Structure 1
Amino acid sequence: MTVDELYEYLCSPLFLDEKSGNIFYNYYIYQYPASQEYEMRRQIQEFKQKLERPTNFVNALVLDLFRVFCEYLQNEKFGDTSLLEDTFEGDRLHPDMVTTELTSEANSDNFIRFVRDKIEAHMALNDGYNKPYVFIHGIGKMFPYLRTNVFLTRYEKYNDTSRYKIILFYPGHQEGNSFSLFDILEDSHTYRAILLVNK
């Protein structure tokens, strides 16, 4: 599915209906070559702007998962310092320990709830727009701390399939039943997400 075809699909009345599609799994994955990462980030913002026009009247939430993780670490306090500041300091002295700590935090229920709270705050906005989409990107920047399938699995208990669809932008491709992050790193099976391909 090309970028233009994806935008047309996002604008289609059937897909805009948050209750359409699989009633149990509202996860969708759009794959693109890792070499197009910066262009894809720009394209996601363009999708958001175009969807806000009166023809669609959609306010899509865009989450850069890595930025959200950094914000989460900044909010986690240890005395007078944040976990983010502690990470910067510790990385110079004990990089292996920092990797272990970041992996633990990224996979924690506290972080998944932090993501959930951002989505809920967006859904609660009284701005008159429809809100059928949550666009998530930055999953590549979360490697090796958090894998795609782990994030989607852990978010499931907070997920409300009747209110929105999560569209995850993935820099890589599918190989059999598994995905390849950056086209080189095995990323396990990506849960039960629906791959957005040409219909």
Structure 2
Amino acid sequence: MADIETRLSRLEMEIKNPRFMENRGVGNEVRYYVFDYPAEQELIIRAWVRDIVRKNKNNYTTSSIVVFDLYEMIISFLKEKGFMEKCYEFEKNRGLTFLAKTIGDAMRFSTDDSIIIRRIQNDTPDNAIVFLTGVGKCFPILRSHKVLNNLHQVMDKVPVIMFYPGKYDGQELVLFLEVKDDNYYRAFKLID
């Protein structure tokens, strides 16, 4: 695998290519991508995402980049509903597994009407590229396969890139190189 700066440079060239926005693969499937990277390079990725969004706005291109930080979406929901203190209590008294299930149920992670999926769908303009970030920050409360699988059911007009702090071999994700995720992903590895 090339160094992170080389891979990010290649990613920038890829998303600037007009063919990228055609968003169709060999079998005419919608293009969902995973850009994997070592977790210790998270701050480099965050800075690059901020920079590429700024560059995109200043260049007046025909497509926009829309960033959805999954962790920030969860925190925003919990604050809006006044659930933060309750979450602290749940984790302290009942554990992280209980807390993750409770948040997942409240935000309907496993349903077609997921709050996160609806927000991404509603806040994504036509002719955009979607960046999904914050995957590592929200683990294990939200599993990335739930987002990809549910989003794949409702969004098929724009390319989606999930920035993943771990390894993706085209079949399975390994988060932080420790937790193996045996779920199947309808996503293509983007930039080796």
* TM-score when normalising by structure 2: 0.81
8 Å CA contact 1:62, 1:135 repeated in 2? yes
Deviation at 1:190, TM superposition (A): 4.5
1:48 alignment counterpart: 53
2:173 alignment counterpart: 179
Change (3 A) 1:189 1:154: same
Inter-partner Cα distance in structure 2 for 1:171 and 1:151:
15
Change (3 A) 1:69 1:184: same
Of 67, 77, 81 in structure 2, the residue corresponding to residue 72 of structure 1 is 77
2:119 alignment counterpart: 117
8 Å CA contact 1:136, 1:166 repeated in 2? yes
Deviation at 1:172, TM superposition (A): 0.9
Inter-partner Cα distance in structure 2 for 1:111 and 1:145:
18
Deviation at 1:56, TM superposition (A): 2.6
Deviation at 1:44, TM superposition (A): 0.8
Aligned pair 1:194/2:188, yes or no?
A: yes
1:21 alignment counterpart: 25
Inter-partner Cα distance in structure 2 for 1:184 and 1:92:
25
Aligned pair 1:91/2:91, yes or no?
A: yes
Deviation at 1:197, TM superposition (A): 2.5
Deviation at 1:176, TM superposition (A): 7.2
**What code does the residue aligned with 1:45 have?**
R
Deviation at 1:24, TM superposition (A): 3.0
**What code does the residue aligned with 2:17 have?**
S
Change (3 A) 1:110 1:193: closer
Inter-partner Cα distance in structure 2 for 1:138 and 1:190:
20
Runs ≥4 in structure 1, deviation > 4 angstroms? Answer: none
**What code does the residue aligned with 1:113 have?**
I
Inter-partner Cα distance in structure 1 for 2:137 and 2:187:
20
Inter-partner Cα distance in structure 2 for 1:32 and 1:155:
22
Which has the larger displacement, 35-44 or 90-99?
A: 90-99
Change (3 A) 1:111 1:90: farther
Deviation at 1:117, TM superposition (A): 2.6
* TM-score when normalising by structure 1: 0.79
**What code does the residue aligned with 1:21 have?**
G
1:138 alignment counterpart: 134
**What code does the residue aligned with 1:74 have?**
K
Structure 1 residue runs without a partner (length 5+): 77-81, 124-129
When the two chains are superposed, the root-mean-square deviation of aligned CA atoms in Å is: 2.5
8 Å CA contact 2:171, 2:185 repeated in 1? no
Inter-partner Cα distance in structure 1 for 2:21 and 2:152:
21
Change (3 A) 1:90 1:112: same
